[in-house]
Structure 1
C-alpha cells in the first residue's frame, strides 16, 4: 500500500480498502501510520463542555438537543477563569490539546462569543493547542478566533450527504461544508470526522470518508466516533457499534488520509483495553479525555485509566507540538 497523500480517491477504491481481509487491512494501515507518525505516541486531548444543553438543533444522536428528554441539565456558558482552570488541570495530567464545546447551533456576535475569545487567549497562553466546537461559523468569526490563538476547529460531517437528512433536519450538509471552508480561509486547522452506528449503511460510511479524503486539504484531524446511545434521543435503542467496524473505519481513514491525526473518540467506554489496542494498531493516534469520566455529556474512561492503558500497551502521551498536529 502506497502512502502518498492523494485527493483523488474514488468511492470504489475506498470500499476496496475497507473490505480487505481484516489482518491485511490493519497491517497495511499500521505501515502507513509508521511512515507519517511515531508509532508509540498518542495525543491526549481534553474536551470540556463550556455551555451544555438547550440546543435548538434536532441531531438524533445528541442528548443536548432541547427537544429531547434526556435528563441532561442545561448549563450556561462557564466563566472564563473556570475554563482556564480546567485547561491548566488538563495540562497537568498530560493533555496537550484542550477543546471547548458549546451547545450552540451557530456562533452569534455577542458577549458570550467575546468570552469564548478570552478563553481561547487564556488556554493558548498555557502553551496548549486550543480547539473549539461551537456550531456554524462565519469567515469573520473564524478570523477572530484565529487572531485569538485558536489552533483547530471541530466540525464533524457526522455521516454521508445522502443520509444526513435522516439524522438532522435543522441544517443541511452544505452548512457543514461551508463552516469547514470558513475555518480553512481563516488559517485554522480543521478537525472533522463522523459517527458510525447512526443506522447508516456501509455505502454511507464510504461516502463520508470520500468527502473528507477528496477535500483540497485533508482535515488535520479526523475523529472516528461510535454512537454513544443517550437515553431519550431517537437513537437510544440503536445496536452497539461492532468493534471491527470501528477498526475498519480507523484503518481506512489512516490509509487514505495518512498525515492526519485519527482520533479514537466517542464510544471508548464500551470498548475493552484490547479492543482499543486494535484501534491504535489500525492507526488511531489520539484519544479524548474528560473530567469526571465524561466526554461532554456521555460516559468516558477516566484520565488515570487511560494513562494506565497507554503504559500497558507501550504507548506514551504525545508531547506538545503546536504546529504539528491538530484536534
Structure 2
C-alpha cells in the first residue's frame, strides 16, 4: 500500500530534488498515477475582493502600500459583483473560486462580514470557495468554516531561513499558526510558495520540507514562479527557468503524493510544451482567468485549448468530500 509520510528529512528531499531531470519526471509521474486520475486538473479562479493598500512589506507584492506600483487601491467589492464573477468562472470550467483581500490579518468588522456573505453566496452555486485574507485566529477560522469555506490559502512563500529577506512584518511562526487554526476548523489547507526571489536550492528544499512535515499535508500546494512587478524590490529578478518549476512540481508530488499541486503564477511565461512537462511531473491544478489578483494569467479560452490538445479534463467540485462520503457508506465486510 502506498504510504503518505510526514517525516521526510532534508537530506531525502535534497536527493529527490537533485535527481536528473528526466528520471525525476518519470518518478513523479509514477507517483501521480498511483494517487490521482491521470489528466484530471482542478481549475480555480481568483478574485481580488479588496485590492491594494496592504501594510505588509512582502518584497514580491505590488499591493504593499509602501511600494510605488501601478496598483490602485480599491475597497471591498459588493457581494453581487463577486457572485456574478463566480458564476462566469463556473460556466467557463472553474470548480473553485478564490477570494483574496490585501489584508495583513482578518479583523472582525463589516468587511469580514461581507466576505462571510460572499462565501455563503458562492456555496449556493455548488462551487468550492477558498479565501486568502492574511492571518486569522481560531474563532475567525471557525466562522469561515460555518459559512461553508472549503479551503484557506496561506503560503509559506520560502524557507524559514530565507523568510526575513522577503518579509519582515510578520514571522514564519505567524504563518504556521494560521495554518494550524485553519486545520483545527476542518477547512482544507492551501499552502505553497514562490520561486525566483533570489533564494537558493536549499531554501526551496527547506520550504518543501516544512510543508511535507506538517501534521497533514496541505490539500493544495501552489507552486508560483515570481512575476516581477515594477516598483517592488523584486522588479529586476530574472525569469524562473522552466526546469526549476518542473523540479519543484515533481519533488512536491513525490513527497506529498495525495496533495493537489497547483501550477500557479508565472504560466503566462510558459508555452504549451513547458506546461505539459509540469503536468507530466505531477501538477494537477491551475488558476484560470486573466488575472491572479493583480498579475497577468492566461485566459480561460487559452487554457481550454491547452486542455483539448493535452487531453486534460476539469475536475469536478467537492470531489474529495464526495469520495469520502461514498467510502463512509460502503458496507462492512
TM-score tier by shorter-chain length is over 0.9
Task: Show the 5 A alignment for 1:1-327.
Answer: 3-290=2-289, 293-324=290-321
Q: Deviations over 1:168-203 (max 9, x none)?
A: 011111000000000011110100000000111000
Look up the SS of the partner of 1:136 in the other structure: coil
Structure 1 residues 52-98: Cα deviation after superposition (integer angstroms, max 9, x where no partner): 01100000000000011111111111001111111111111110000
Q: Deviations over 1:2-46 (max 9, x none)?
A: 952000100000010011111110001001001111111111110
SS in 2 for 1:9: coil
Q: CA deviation at 1:318?
A: 1.1
Matched-pair contact (CA < 8 Å) for 1:129–1:322: no
Measure the CA separation in 1 of the matches of 2:291 and 2:111.
24
Instruction: State the alpha-carbon separation in 2 of the partners of residues 115 and 30 from structure 1.
Output: 42
Take 2:65 and 2:272, find their aligned partners in 1: how far apart are those partners?
Answer: 34
> CA separation in 2, counterparts of 1:250 and 1:4?
19
Task: Provide the rounded CA distance (Å) in 1 between the counterparts of 2:111 and 2:71.
Answer: 21
In the alignment of these two chains, the number of paired residues is 322
1:211-269 CA distances to partner (integer Å, 9 max, x unpaired)? 00001110001000000111110001011101000000000000000000000000001
- Distance (whole Å) between structure 2 residues aligned to residue 216 and residue 138 of structure 1: 18
Quick check: 1:61–1:233 contact (8 Å CA) kept in 2? yes
- Give 1:323 deviation, angstroms: 3.6
CA contact (8 A) 1:3 1:32 kept: no
Q: What 5-or-longer segments of structure 1 have no aligned partner?
A: none
Q: TM-score, normalised by structure 2?
A: 0.95
Q: For 2:271 and 2:164, how far apart are their aligned partners in 1?
A: 33
Find the counterpart in structure 1 of residue 326 from structure 2. none
Structure 2, unaligned stretches of length 5 or more? 323-333
Q: CA deviation at 1:322?
A: 4.7
Alignment TM-score, normalising by the size of structure 1: 0.97
Please, what is the CA RMSD of the aligned residues?
A: 1.0
CA contact (8 A) 1:213 1:256 kept: yes
The 1-side partners of 2:70 and 2:196 are apart by: 22
